[in-house]
Amino acid sequence: MADVTVLGAGIGGLALACALSQCGLSVRVIEQAPELAEVGAGIQISRNGVRVLQALGVPLPAPVQSHGTELRDWARGRLVLTVPPPAAGPTWYVHRADLLAALRSRAAARGVVLELGRRAVAVEGNRIDFADGASETVDVLIGADGVHGVTRPFVNGPSQARFTRQVAWRALVPARGEPAVAQLWMGPGRHMVLYPLRSGRLLNIVAVEERRDWTDDSWRQAGDPTDMRARFAGFGGAARAALERVDAAHLWALHLHPVADRWHRGSVALLGDAAHPTLPFLAQGACLALEDAWVLAACLARGQGLDRYEALRKPRAQAVVAAAGRNAWRFHLRTPLRQVAQLALRSGLVPPPDFGWVHDYDATAAVPSSP
């Protein structure tokens, strides 16, 4: 079997390296960052992602087990609805940096080579061109380098993203005994999500607001905590208390990218956000990357190829990405629609959306022994 080179040492890239090495394949990972620093914030790993991590022998680091989701009104914090944990198994809250460290440790234990500080600037066929002028030709190349990486445009050509007119603020603050639930505070044109991390020591904050434009060239930038508080003024209860503790924040412009039309070109394939960037409103970005990693490794190990990988993964990714997009408007209903929706949920006349099909998926059983 040919050697596999992975561009990108994020969750998907490192999980793929673990899965490939577990299958007995030779793999190395190339990452542009000079070191894997502690960056990022909280992520949610539902049962579909946990299955992959368990199969890889990667324990969840300092996890908090979710006891469900609380939907709350933005101003008074009134509980609208409690959604129990998925029947498929619990969701876990973890810090992205902790999960990356656990994956890196597992990959190193399996002999995976990790090359840091090598920034790819172009991919042409099986050749990778680097920022320092060097070039390499590889056997099989997997682009886990994200939607802004160099692999996606090689496979599909340029694509146009659409600004959703939503911006996400993210911050971490010391926890103060908040419950092990995801608190979703729904307001007019904005919402907030709070959940604990690192065995309950930190509180993760994601606050999304609607904006008409995004003039900065970058998709991510540092934010002003005072501005963040002003933009979410009027949120009450625990939401307001959490905002008061923010001393550093970042902003993400939320863009809608199409799921890649092609997932491979020759022996160059896409994984994770490079194939299917998703909005954060279903908390499935990391889990989709983990699913991709297991299925792709199984297809390569069993000689089923990249066509089979695309056939197995593309419909699933399209469905999840579409569901995340539909969730966006539900969180930002304005009066009187918001009041009607909350009354319908509390009365039981309208059940909350059922995402069991998302969490029940088992990537470790998705690849049969023969096509």
Which two structure tokens, joined as six digits, stand for 365?
Answer: 């059983």
Catalytic residue of the set 93, 195, 309, 361: 195
- Cite the DSSP H helix spans in the chain: 11-22, 47-56, 96-109, 151-156, 225-231, 237-244, 285-301, 305-330, 337-347, 356-359
Which two structure tokens, joined as six digits, stand for 97?
Answer: 């940096």
Is 195 catalytic? The answer is yes
- Output DSSP code: residue 76: T
Alpha carbon separation from 216 to 20, 210, 232, 240, 347 (Å, rounded): 39, 16, 21, 28, 44
Instruction: List phi, psi (to 5°) of 68.
Output: 125, -165
Instruction: List phi, psi (to 5°) of 85.
Output: -60, 155
C-beta neighbour count of 152 within 10 angstroms: 25
Catalytic residues: 195
